[in-house]
């Protein structure tokens, strides 16, 4: 899709209570196959690449970063190098990470809650259930702790002791036009972010649905700790967003096909507050 090129992120022109939203891809998994993205593997196979994003919600008053992604250390450890550290990308587009005041962590998986030390002044928003799970007895099991990175979890706990964390339990409104919604299943305390925009509410679903197809086929992603909860969360996603054009899945490479892009200081961003072109 045609791109517009900027030196810095354009100023938000939305009315009070409305937000601009951008997706920033920092890593990708082009070799991913269809059957790796669903719980049941008895399906037609073929390519189904995944991307890794952080999301930026902005209005005239503030910027909220949704997830912090992961950086070079975790990328090297897992054999999944990043194209750019999200904090470095943010600095380039005029949002220095040390100036970010609010970070919503959708959950604590390594690809959503890494490099928190790069955001030393941010207030961090997380669901109670997520930190309880990530520090509780389930972490004695490798298969349960695999998507978590102990360094991220330890750093998060330091931020709790530093009084920089705001816990949420269920649904809550963070700012006018921006609310958090507990959607468990993929992770115990996964929260999605509902953002009011000029085109209506847009749900940053994060890993509540990895791809559009997980949701439309009602078929959970391969990594799911509670199938029943995931399916209930799928229903909730549609209740909150209204339709697929207002859902932003956590890892679908199609987001970059459906939404227009702008390039800011060499960093490509998908503009999520304009209507997508979906088939």
| Interface residue list for Zn ion (CB under 5 A) | 109, 111, 207
Closer to Zn ion by CB, 18 or 180: give it: 180
Closer to Zn ion by CB, 59 or 127: give it: 127
Closest approach, Cβ 37 to Zn ion, in A, equals: 12
Closest approach, Cβ 25 to Zn ion, in A, equals: 13
Closest approach, Cβ 29 to Zn ion, in A, equals: 11
Closest approach, Cβ 65 to Zn ion, in A, equals: 16
Closer to Zn ion by CB, 20 or 207: give it: 207
Closer to Zn ion by CB, 20 or 111: give it: 111
Closest approach, Cβ 117 to Zn ion, in A, equals: 20
Closer to Zn ion by CB, 102 or 186: give it: 186
Q: CA-CA-CA-CA torsion for 266, 268, 272, 274, nearest 10 degrees?
A: 70
């Amino acid at each position: 899709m045609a791109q517009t090129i900027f030196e810095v992120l354009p100023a938000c022109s939305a009315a009070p209570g409305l937000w601009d939203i951008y997706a920033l891809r920092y890593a990708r998994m082009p070799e991913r196959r269809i059957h790796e993205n669903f719980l049941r593997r008895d399906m037609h196979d073929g390519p189904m690449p995944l991307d890794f994003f952080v999301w930026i919600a902005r209005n005239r008053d503030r910027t909220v970063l949704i997830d912090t992604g992961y950086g070079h250390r975790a990328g090297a450890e897992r054999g999944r190098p990043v194209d750019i550290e999200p904090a470095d990308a943010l600095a380039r587009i005029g949002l220095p990470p040390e100036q970010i005041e609010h970070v919503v962590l959708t959950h604590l998986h390594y690809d959503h809650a890494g490099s928190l030390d790069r955001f030393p002044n941010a207030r961090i928003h997380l669901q109670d259930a997520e930190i309880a799970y990530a520090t509780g007895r389930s972490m004695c099991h490798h298969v349960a702790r695999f998507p978590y990175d102990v360094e991220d979890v330890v750093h998060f706990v330091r931020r709790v002791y530093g009084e920089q964390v705001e816990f949420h339990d269920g649904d809550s409104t963070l700012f006018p036009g921006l609310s958090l919604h507990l959607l468990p299943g993929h992770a115990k305390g996964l929260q999605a972010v509902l953002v009011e925009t000029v085109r209506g509410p847009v749900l940053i679903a994060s890993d509540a649905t990895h791809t559009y197809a997980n949701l439309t086929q009602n078929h959970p992603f391969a990594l799911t700790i509670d199938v029943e909860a995931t399916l209930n969360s799928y229903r909730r996603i549609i209740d909150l967003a209204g339709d697929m054009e207002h859902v932003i899945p956590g890892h679908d490479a199609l987001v970059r096909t459906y939404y227009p892009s702008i390039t800011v200081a060499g960093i490509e961003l998908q503009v999520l507050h304009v209507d997508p072109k979906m088939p």
